[in-house]
Amino acid sequence: MNSEETTIRAKEFSAWYGDFKVLKNISLSIPTNYVTAVIGPSGCGKTTFVRCINRLHELTPGAKVTGELRLNEKNIYQTDPMQIRRTIGMVFQRPNPFPTMTIAGNVMAGYTLNGIRLKTSEYKEIVEDSLRKAALWDEVKDKLNKYGTELSGGQQQRLCIARAIATKPTVILFDEPCSALDPIATGKIEELIRELRSHYTIIIVTHNMQQAGRVADFTAFFMMGELIEFDRTETVFTNPAKSLTEDYITGRFG
Amino acid sequence: MRKLKNLIMTGLLALATLICLLPLLLLLYYVIKMGISSINLDFFLNNPKPMGEAGGGMLNSIIGTIIVLAMASLIGIPIGLVTGIYLAENKGTKLAEWVRLATEVLVGIPSIVIGILVYGWLVKSMKTFSAFSGSIALTIIMIPILARSTEEVLLMVPHTLKEAAYALGASRWKTQWMIVMKTAMGGIVSAILSSIGRIAGETAPLLFTAFGNQFFSTKLFRPISTLPIQIFTYARSPNIVQNRMAWAGSLLLVGMVLVLNMSAKWIGYVVLKRRNK
Selection from B107, B163, B273, B3 nearest residue A98 by Cα: B163
Cβ-defined contact of B167 to A85 (cutoff 8 Å) = yes
Interface test with B, best of A98, A101, A143 (most B CBs within 10 A): A98
Residue A2 pLDDT level (bands cut at 50, 70, 90) = low
The domain containing residue B147 runs over which residues? 39-44+57-275
Residue A72 lies in a domain: no
Residue A6 lies in a domain: no
Q: What is the pLDDT of residues B200-242, one digit of tens each?
A: 989 999 998 998 888 888 889 999 999 999 999 999 988 888 8
Mean pLDDT over B33-43 rounds to 89
Cβ-defined contact of B164 to A96 (cutoff 8 Å) = yes
The predicted pLDDT at position B42 comes to 87
Q: What is the pLDDT of residues A184-198, one digit of tens each?
A: 999 999 999 999 999
Return residues 139-168 of B near A (CB < 8 Å).
Answer: 158, 160-161, 163-168
CA-based R_g, chain B, Å: 23
Cβ-defined contact of B174 to A113 (cutoff 8 Å) = yes
The shortest CB-CB distance from B167 to any of A54, A99, A100 is to A54
Q: What is the pLDDT of residues A12-42, one digit of tens each?
A: 999 999 999 999 999 999 999 999 999 999 8
Residue B26 lies in a domain: no
- Edge-to-edge, what's the strand order for the sheet holding A226-232? A88-91, A171-175, A201-205, A35-39, A218-223, A226-232
CATH number at residue A189: 3.40.50.300
Cβ-defined contact of A163 to B168 (cutoff 8 Å) = yes
Residue B196 lies in a domain: yes
Amino acid code (one letter) for B145 = I
Residue A13 lies in a domain: no
Return residues 75-104 of B near A (CB < 8 Å).
Answer: 92
B108 at the A interface (CB within 8 A)?
Answer: no
Mean pLDDT over B155-180 rounds to 94
Share of chain B above pLDDT 90, in %: 76
Rounded Cα–Cα distance for residues A166 and A111 (Å): 8
Chain A positions touching B168 (Cβ under 8 A) are 85-86, 89, 109-110, 113-114, 163-164, 167
The predicted pLDDT at position B179 comes to 94
Residue B199 lies in a domain: yes
Residue B82 lies in a domain: yes
Q: To the nearest whole number, what is the mean pLDDT of chain A?
A: 93
Provide the angle, in degrees to the nearest 10, between the axes of the packed helices A153-166 and A120-133.
130
B167 Cα to chain A: minimum distance (Å): 5
Residue A204 lies in a domain: yes
CATH number at residue B214: 1.10.3720.10
Close Cβ partners of A19 (under 8 Å, ≥ 6 residues apart): none
The domain containing residue A239 runs over which residues? 32-53+81-249
C-alpha distance across the termini of chain A, in Å: 27
The shortest CB-CB distance from B169 to any of A85, A149, A150 is to A85
Number of domains in chain B: 1
Chain A positions touching B158 (Cβ under 8 A) are 96
What global pTM score does this model have? Answer: 0.84
Cβ-defined contact of B170 to A82 (cutoff 8 Å) = yes
Cβ-defined contact of B169 to A86 (cutoff 8 Å) = yes
Residue in chain A closest to B163 (alpha carbons) equals A56
Q: What is the pLDDT of residues A100-115, one digit of tens each?
A: 999 999 999 999 999 9
Residue A106 lies in a domain: yes
Is the model's pLDDT at A170 over the cut of 70? yes
The predicted complex's ipTM stands at 0.92
B171 at the A interface (CB within 8 A)?
Answer: yes
Selection from A51, A80, A84, A11 nearest residue A203 by Cα: A51
Residue A232 lies in a domain: yes
Interface test with A, best of B168, B176, B179 (most A CBs within 10 A): B168
| Dihedral sign (CA B245, B247, B250, B256) | negative
The predicted pLDDT at position A254 comes to 58
The predicted pLDDT at position B56 comes to 82
The predicted pLDDT at position A3 comes to 64
The predicted pLDDT at position B239 comes to 87
Rounded Cα–Cα distance for residues B260 and A44 (Å): 52
> What would the DSSP string read from start to end of chain A?
--SS-EEEEEEEEEEEETTEEEEEEEEEEEETTSEEEEE-STTSSHHHHHHHHTT-GGGSTTEEEEEEEEETTEEGGGS-HHHHHHHEEEE-SS----TTSBHHHHHTHHHHTTT----HHHHHHHHHHHHHHTT-HHHHTT-TTSBGGGS-HHHHHHHHHHHHHHT--SEEEEESTTTTS-HHHHHHHHHHHHHHTTTSEEEEE-S-HHHHHHH-SEEEEEETTEEEEEEEHHHHHHS-SSHHHHHHHTTS--
Are the CB atoms for A222 and A49 separated by under 8 Å?
yes
Q: What is the pLDDT of residues B55-68, one digit of tens each?
A: 788 999 999 999 99
Residue B51 pLDDT level (bands cut at 50, 70, 90) = confident
B63 at the A interface (CB within 8 A)?
Answer: no
Number of domains in chain A: 1
Residue B6 lies in a domain: no
Is the model's pLDDT at B275 over the cut of 70? no
Residue B271 pLDDT level (bands cut at 50, 70, 90) = confident
The predicted pLDDT at position A67 comes to 94
Selection from B262, B252, B202, B261 nearest residue B32 by Cα: B252
Share of chain A above pLDDT 90, in %: 88
Residue B99 pLDDT level (bands cut at 50, 70, 90) = very high
Please, which residues bridge with residue A69 across strands? Answer: A10
Residue B276 pLDDT level (bands cut at 50, 70, 90) = low
Cβ-defined contact of B169 to A149 (cutoff 8 Å) = no
Share of chain A above pLDDT 70, in %: 98
Q: What is the pLDDT of residues A200-210, one digit of tens each?
A: 999 999 988 89
Chain A positions touching B174 (Cβ under 8 A) are 113-115
